[in-house]
């Protein structure tokens, strides 16, 4: 397929409105003037019956939508003002949604999110599920552009669920396409392809060309990532052709950028520069700051590889500045990485190191463990609810069949047997309901015990609240993964979460063995405490024993990973004994937590420890020295605490 030039793209898009379009717009203007004059001469106040005028305003912004964003924005604002004046909630919701789209296209993401939030509120008030699904999907797209993939997936799954409930095929396909894009950004091409193909099947069955064009573009990205350049280019060209025929200016920028990246992968640096420049000019023409930032950064990368270093620096700095303005963490991350590489090439090691540190910090803010957990939880919640809905429907069908059969049997029996059957039926229902209530109570208790100590859970069930405790002696443990950032760079987000889960699950079992309460995990940090909520005298030795077992587990686990050729990590463990305040925080998601200087000191023991070692404080050492062999480290200066005596635990006596 012949590639379209930038000039031919402009011609196909027809930025000057065609005569046919202009004629339609002129007729709408005339109709609007007629309605306004009729209203003025009648002297009547506007009311909900004036939706005809709102409809004409809506048609006007629809007519201008592909040609003139300023006129579109002006008529959307007029339609929203009119809708608010006459109390037309559907119109208000639609207007705010479109205002969100227009601001998203200008990469004004915070303003777009604000409009989407307002649109969602009116959708919920008017129970407009179709529009609500669109608004949620658009909100998810903004979060994708900002690099917040956890939030993006949450909103896209909410949109997908509503669309599935109301049977809106186009919305289902759109959600799958966006979910696929999220997985693509997380380098999970298998999941991305799965969702793209679902979207493609729906759009091909309905011959919806804009959707087909978008999937073709995204499939090209997958083939490009796999190094299948010919297949990738075929999909990109197909997408460009359809988008050009549809005059879909906004999404065409992304396809041009993808083709430029394909040239980079094939070491065609000058062709890449030319293509990125075309993408930049098109993005600038339609005021797409997101596209402009991406084009700048890609031109910087291409110029770097073409050894045009001064030009590359200018492109990259412009792209980074624009990325910061629009709040796109993904682009900021790429800008820092590219500038670090450029400074390294130019021998500016200090500048390279500074940019690399900024790159790591930005990347970790996107791909941190909390976000990875949110992504997995959102996906699990959606799949669980979907399966639960299917199971519920199947159960309802079974109960309906059972009810029909029961009625049939009742008609066949005599009065005595019928009466006896009714008695049995009510007895059965009673026992079933009682068992359901019992099962639900057991499940509730299990969940409560999973997040609270048993004593606290019982108090909470009995009183509806739990008292705060001051406990004189508690031993607190902190463990932290050494060089976690470096380890996370070498594994995928999925493997990272899996590895953390494996280790922390083993830690939970060890804590249970020694009657130690797990308090919480914070990223790669694990916190637990012994001697609470019921005080005991063995907690110092219990916690140190558990710490040694944590240390041994990690050693054995690392042997397995090294044998498999996989990256591994070590942990630091710190322990301190002292008084704490313990209690429940939160009103929706209860959390049992502890506070006090003891917690801070235990954290310092971990920070000032060494990998593969259990570092304990003087107060813990005094309580366990008869049971463990320890090596004194002498007094060590700790910020905010002065000189603190510390000991390494070498083993049991």
Give the CA dihedral 488, 491, 497, 498, nearest 10 degrees. -140
Q: What mean pLDDT, rounded, does the chain reach?
A: 78
Q: For residue 521, with 0-12 CB atoms within 10 Å meaning exposed, 13-18 middle and 19 or more buried, which class applies?
A: middle
The pLDDT, as a whole number, for residue 9 is 38
The pLDDT, as a whole number, for residue 542 is 94
Which three-class secondary structure state does DSSP give residue 477? strand
- C-alpha–C-alpha distance, residues 183 and 316, integer Å: 26
The pLDDT, as a whole number, for residue 645 is 92
The pLDDT, as a whole number, for residue 448 is 44
Which three-class secondary structure state does DSSP give residue 384? helix
- C-alpha–C-alpha distance, residues 294 and 261, integer Å: 11
The pLDDT, as a whole number, for residue 370 is 43
Token digits of residue 278: 């075309």
Q: Which of 478, 454, 607, 605 lies closest to 533, judged by CA? A: 454
Identify whether the C-beta of residue 507 lies closer than 8 Å to the C-beta of residue 550. yes
- C-alpha–C-alpha distance, residues 467 and 488, integer Å: 40
The pLDDT, as a whole number, for residue 573 is 95
Q: In angstroms, how far is the first alpha carbon of the chain from the final one?
A: 78
The pLDDT, as a whole number, for residue 418 is 45
3-state secondary structure 544-565: HHHHHHHHHHHHHHHHHHHHCC
pLDDT of 7 higher than 70: no
Query: What is the CB neighbour count within 10 angstroms for residue 380?
Result: 10
DSSP state of 207: T
- C-alpha–C-alpha distance, residues 312 and 298, integer Å: 9
The pLDDT, as a whole number, for residue 457 is 59
The pLDDT, as a whole number, for residue 87 is 78
- Least confident stretch, 178-187, 433-442, 617-626: 433-442
The pLDDT, as a whole number, for residue 432 is 44
- C-alpha–C-alpha distance, residues 641 and 604, integer Å: 10
Which residues on neighbouring strands pair with residue 240, listed in sequence order? none
Average pLDDT over residues 548-561: 90
pLDDT tens, position by position, 397-408: 555 655 655 555
Dihedral class, residue 516 (left if φ above 0, else alpha if ψ from -120 to 50, else beta): beta
Identify whether the C-beta of residue 551 lies closer than 8 Å to the C-beta of residue 580. no
Average pLDDT over residues 66-84: 73
Residues with Cβ within 8 Å of 649's Cβ and at least 6 positions away in sequence, in order, are: 544, 547, 548, 613, 614, 615, 616, 624, 628, 629, 630
- C-alpha–C-alpha distance, residues 294 and 318, integer Å: 10
pLDDT of 29 higher than 50: yes
Identify whether the C-beta of residue 358 lies closer than 8 Å to the C-beta of residue 336. yes
- C-alpha–C-alpha distance, residues 310 and 316, integer Å: 10
pLDDT tens, position by position, 247-306: 777 778 888 898 998 898 888 989 989 999 998 998 888 778 888 999 999 999 999 988
Dihedral class, residue 465 (left if φ above 0, else alpha if ψ from -120 to 50, else beta): beta
pLDDT of 454 higher than 70: no
């Amino acid at each position: 397929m012949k590639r379209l030039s930038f000039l031919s793209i402009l011609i196909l898009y027809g930025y000057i409105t065609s005569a046919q379009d202009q004629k339609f717009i002129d007729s709408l203007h005339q109709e609007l003037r007629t309605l306004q004059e009729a209203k003025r001469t009648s002297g009547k106040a506007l009311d909900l019956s004036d939706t005809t005028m709102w409809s004409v305003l809506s048609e006007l912004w629809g007519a201008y939508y592909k040609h003139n964003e300023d006129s579109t924005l002006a008529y959307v604002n007029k339609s929203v003002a009119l809708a608010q004046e006459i109390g037309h909630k559907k119109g208000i919701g639609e207007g705010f949604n479109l205002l969100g789209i227009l601001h998203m296209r200008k990469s004004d993401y915070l303003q777009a999110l604000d409009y989407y939030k307002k649109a969602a509120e009116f959708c919920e008030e008017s129970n407009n599920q179709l529009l609500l699904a669109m608004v949620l999907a658009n909100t998810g797209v903004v979060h994708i552009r900002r690099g917040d993939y956890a939030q993006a997936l949450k909103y896209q799954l909410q949109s997908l669920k509503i669309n599935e409930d109301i049977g809106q095929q186009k919305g289902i396909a759109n959600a799958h396409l966006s979910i696929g894009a999220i997985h693509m950004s997380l380098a999970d091409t298998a999941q991305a392809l799965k969702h793209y193909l679902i979207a493609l099947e729906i759009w091909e069955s309905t011959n919806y060309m804009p959707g087909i064009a978008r999937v073709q573009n995204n499939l090209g990205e997958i083939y490009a990532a796999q190094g299948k350049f010919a297949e990738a280019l075929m999909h990109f060209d197909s997408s460009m052709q359809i988008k050009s025929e549809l005059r879909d200016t906004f999404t065409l920028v992304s396809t041009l950028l993808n083709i430029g990246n394909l040239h980079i992968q094939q070491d065609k640096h000058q062709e890449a520069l030319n293509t990125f420049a075309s993408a930049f000019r098109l993005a600038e023409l339609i005021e797409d700051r997101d596209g402009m930032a991406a084009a700048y950064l890609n031109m910087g990368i291409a110029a770097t590889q073409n050894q045009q270093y001064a030009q590359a620096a200018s492109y990259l700095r412009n792209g980074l500045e624009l990325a910061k303005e629009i709040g796109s963490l993904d682009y900021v991350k790429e800008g820092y990485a590219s500038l670090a590489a450029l400074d390294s090439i130019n021998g500016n090691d200090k500048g390279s190191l500074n940019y690399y540190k900024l790159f790591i910090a930005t990347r970790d803010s996107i791909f941190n463990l909390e976000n990875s957990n949110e992504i997995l939880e959102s996906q699990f919640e959606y799949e669980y609810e979907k399966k639960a809905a299917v199971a519920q429907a199947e159960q309802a069908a079974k109960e309906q069949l059972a009810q029909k059969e029961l009625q049939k049997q009742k008609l066949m029996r005599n009065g005595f047997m019928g009466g006896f059957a009714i008695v049995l039926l009510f007895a059965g229902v009673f026992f079933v309901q009682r068992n359901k209530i019992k099962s639900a109570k057991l499940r509730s208790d299990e969940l409560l015990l999973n997040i609270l100590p048993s004593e606290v859970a019982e108090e909470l069930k009995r009183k509806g609240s739990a008292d705060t405790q001051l406990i004189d002696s508690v031993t607190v443990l902190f463990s932290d993964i050494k060089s976690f950032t470096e380890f996370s760079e070498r594994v995928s987000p999925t493997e990272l979460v899996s590895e953390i889960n494996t280790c922390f699950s083993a830690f939970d079992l060890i804590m249970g063995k020694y009657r130690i309460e797990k308090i919480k995990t914070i990223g790669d940090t694990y916190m637990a405490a012994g001697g609470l909520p019921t005080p005991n005298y063995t907690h110092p030795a219990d916690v140190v024993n558990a710490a040694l077992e944590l240390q041994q587990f990690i050693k054995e686990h690392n042997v397995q990973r090294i044998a498999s050729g996989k990256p591994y990590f070590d942990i630091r463990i710190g322990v301190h004994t002292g008084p704490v305040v313990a209690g429940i925080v939160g009103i929706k998601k209860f959390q049992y937590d502890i506070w006090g200087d003891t917690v801070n000191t235990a954290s310092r023991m971990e920070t000032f420890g060494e990998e593969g070692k259990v570092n304990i404080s003087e107060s813990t050492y005094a309580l366990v020295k008869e049971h463990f062999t320890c090596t004194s480290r002498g007094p060590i200066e700790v910020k905010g605490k002065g000189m603190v005596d510390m000991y390494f635990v070498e083993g049991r006596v």
